[in-house]
Amino acid sequence: MRGTAVLFTCTGNSARSPIAEALLRHRTGGRVEVTSAGSHPRQELHPDAVRTLRERYGIDLAGRRPRHLDTVAGRRFDYVISLCDKVREVVPDFGGHPRRLHWSIPDPATAGRTEGAGHPAFARTVAEIDTRIRYLLPVLAPQEVPS
């Protein structure tokens, strides 16, 4: 039997959605099939996203590249979770009628445009996404207990 499948989306797939993907995978020990994609993916993950996950959770995203929504077309998901308002409008329909959720989370990369603001913004974003994932866990994997 196929497990629960979750897709996280944001515009650039360089910060919010890869953070959510990594945290859900971490929290479920890989027992939930999770991926992320963006409508206009960047060339690489944001360095502050990579650094914050490594420092706070020991999660290594080295080698991970942003991907376009087209790369997951045709796949079946139980949940499609948009993390920004722009991508919410363009996420394609997926077969099987997945449950759609929207978490409007500010882009931490825009905070980084001012001197020294980037890393704290990413720490706040990671904490917010992790809190939302902890609330989602009982729905996705009822046997999971957040630590």
Question: DSSP character for 22?
Answer: H
Which neighbouring-strand residues pair with 7? 35, 80
pLDDT of residue 1: 38
**5-140, what's its fold?**
Rossmann fold (3.40.50)
CA distance 80 to 101: 6
- Please list the rounded mean pLDDT of every run of 10 residues in the chain (147 residues): 84 94 92 93 92 93 91 92 87 84 90 61 94 92 54
pLDDT of residue 114: 52
